Amino acid sequence: MDQDKINELIRVSQEAKEKAYCPYSKFRVGCALITEDGSVFTGCNVENVSYGLSICAERTAIVKAISEGHHNIKALAISSDMKNQFITPCGMCRQFIFEFGKHISIYQTKPDMSYEMETSSQLLWKGFGPSDLASERISQNGS
Ligand code: THU
């Protein structure tokens, strides 16, 4: 992706952060993803009083894209309010992203638009993915 497209994706993720519903953590996160055909989907974190039900910004954006029929995710930008740290996806989100590709670019940003990019396989080293289910298996005895 060229620099202008990366900056635009980061800017859109910062806009998405404004919508964060995070009354418990007060930690706002925004995400913008772009698909191979150039469609953009955004997401924010959506918390719940039953804390464990909270949904991260990344998963919100991915669920929106998939439910609209867009599976070819090319890149994803994530924003938070952390001044001196790049926001990086949680373990659950790493697995969720990996489901849709091993080579997805993940732009982990700071509010000043600086970023670190790593791919889905770099963030989930030796991840378990859909291709593993297609690999040859031994026969099942008993059950
Ligand atoms: N959160 C995200 O939405 N994405 C991340 O990459 C890290 C964490 C959310 C979950 C929770 O609502 C809040 O940030 C604090 O953990």
Reply yes or no on whether the pLDDT at 143 is more than 60: no
The predicted structure's pLDDT at residue 67: 98
Q: Is 97 in the pocket of ligand 1 (CB under 6 A)?
A: no
Residues 6+ apart with CB under 8 A from 45: 20, 21, 22, 25, 27, 28, 29, 54, 55, 56, 57, 60
Q: Is 27 in the pocket of ligand 1 (CB under 6 A)?
A: yes
The predicted structure's pLDDT at residue 142: 56
pTM for the model stands at: 0.96
The predicted structure's pLDDT at residue 47: 98
Distance 86 CA to ligand 1 centre (A): 13
Q: Whose CA is nearest to atom 6 of ligand 1?
A: 89
The predicted structure's pLDDT at residue 140: 86
Distance 4 CA to ligand 1 centre (A): 26
Domains, the chain, in order of start with CATH, read 3-134 (3.40.140.10)
Q: Give the closest residue to 109 by CA, choosing from 93, 88, 126.
A: 88
pLDDT tens-digit map of 75-119: 999 999 999 999 999 999 999 999 999 999 999 999 999 999 999
pLDDT tens-digit map of 22-81: 999 999 999 999 999 999 999 999 999 999 999 999 999 999 999 999 999 999 999 999
Residue 60 contacts residue 45 (beta carbons within 8 Å):
yes
Q: Is 31 in the pocket of ligand 1 (CB under 6 A)?
A: no
